[in-house]
């Protein structure tokens, strides 16, 4: 594992947090070959801050990680397309995201963050650039959550565009927002399996709550992402595999995979993106499951027009 960076890195007007880990500079070439058409359905761009300043309200200052580096990683790993998700360090300024989407030539879609005051013209411009979803972050260390009615007013606007909702939450937020989230009229994608505590049993009551959400509410999808964020044992993430595999096998048509590059906010361990690819056959053990996870599901959600 990498050691946390000991010195902050100066990047023009912005200086990374002292404990910020930069993304892996030389990921291993994966042993597992991703099938043609694979979508990395959870990744981000950060700045660069000189061109796309980080939000004043951000909770962390990352290393610059722009679109060219994302596209280089895409090609190196054998990924065909990306879904770029707005990160909280950019707040509701989606300029870096839109710039990346435009540069991707149809090979990327986006998930934006918008405020309730967003105009119809701004939403239309985001849609035209390739945005197909809106992200709500309930995780308190990253953003200040708003009341349900605030989010609902946004959902009602973006649902008209055919967008879905991506939620980033932890178990306590899920319990608190259960009625609100399950009342939403759109597809709702939960980041990182709702961040399970992987030291608890995969068939225990805590993870059962998340599986119940998916079973009883067919509009809910799950990203089976971020083993590096959930693990307690480190690579090759043996402790996370049973959780991700359980979700993939139970809900094969409502799961998404992604790298999470450039891996925001990791303080003690930076994953090798090649190792993350090599985890795919362990969480989706058959060719059929992998086709749905890597190709069919993200293509249906992000590239099929109504």
DSSP 164-182: EEEEE--HHHHHHHHHHHH
Which of 37, 55 has the CB closer to ligand 0GY? 55
Return the SS3 of 15: strand
Which of 260, 302 has the CB closer to ligand 0GY? 260
Report whether 22 contacts 280 (CB < 8 A): no
Least distance between ligand 0GY and beta carbon 135 (Å): 8
Least distance between ligand 0GY and beta carbon 253 (Å): 23
Least distance between ligand 0GY and beta carbon 139 (Å): 6
Catalytic residue among 260, 272, 273, 296: 260
DSSP strand pairing (131-137 vs 164-168): parallel
Residues present in the chain in total: 306
Which of 163, 168 has the CB closer to ligand 0GY? 168
Return the SS3 of 177: helix
260 in catalytic set: yes
Residues 6+ apart with CB under 8 A from 106: 130
Least distance between ligand 0GY and beta carbon 157 (Å): 21
Which of 190, 289 has the CB closer to ligand 0GY? 190
CA atoms within 13 A on the CB side of 241: 17
Whether the upstream peptide bond of residue 224 has omega within 30° of 0, thus cis, is no
Which of 64, 191 has the CB closer to ligand 0GY? 191
Least distance between ligand 0GY and beta carbon 273 (Å): 13
Report whether 66 contacts 72 (CB < 8 A): no
Return the SS3 of 70: helix
Residue bearing tokens 């980080």: 54
Positions in the binding site for ligand 0GY (CB under 6 A)? 87-89, 142, 168, 191, 229, 260, 264-265
- Catalytic residues, which ones? 260
């Amino acid at each position: 594992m990498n050691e946390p960076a000991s010195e902050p890195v100066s990047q023009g007007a912005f200086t990374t947090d002292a404990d910020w880990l930069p993304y892996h500079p030389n990921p291993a070439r994966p042993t597992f070959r991703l099938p043609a058409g694979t979508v990395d359905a959870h990744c981000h761009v950060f700045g660069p801050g000189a061109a796309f300043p980080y939000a004043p309200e951000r909770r962390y200052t990352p290393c610059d990680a722009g679109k060219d580096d994302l596209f280089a990683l895409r090609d190196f790993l054998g990924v065909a397309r990306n879904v770029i998700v707005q990160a909280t360090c950019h707040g509701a300024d989606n300029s870096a995201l839109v710039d990346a989407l435009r540069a991707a030539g149809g090979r990327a879609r986006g998930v934006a963050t918008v405020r309730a005051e967003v105009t119809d013209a701004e939403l239309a411009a985001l849609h035209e650039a390739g945005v197909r979803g809106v992200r709500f972050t309930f995780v308190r260390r990253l953003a200040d959550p708003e009341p349900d009615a605030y989010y609902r007013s946004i959902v009602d606007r973006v649902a008209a565009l055919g967008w879905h909702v991506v939620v980033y939450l932890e178990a306590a937020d899920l319990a608190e927002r259960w009625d609100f989230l399950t009342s939403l009229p759109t597809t709702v994608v939960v980041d990182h399996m709702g961040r399970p505590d992987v030291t608890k049993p995969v068939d225990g009551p805590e993870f059962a709550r998340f599986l119940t959400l998916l079973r009883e509410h067919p509009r809910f999808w799950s990203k089976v992402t971020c083993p590096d964020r959930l693990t307690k044992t480190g690579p090759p993430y043996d402790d996370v595999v049973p959780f991700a595999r359980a979700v993939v096998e139970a809900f094969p048509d409502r799961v998404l995979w992604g790298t999470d590059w450039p891996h925001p906010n990791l303080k003690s361990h930076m994953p090798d993106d090649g190792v993350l690819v090599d985890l795919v056959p362990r969480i989706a053990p058959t060719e059929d499951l992998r086709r749905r996870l890597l190709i069919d599901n993200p293509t249906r959600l992000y590239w099929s027009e109504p």
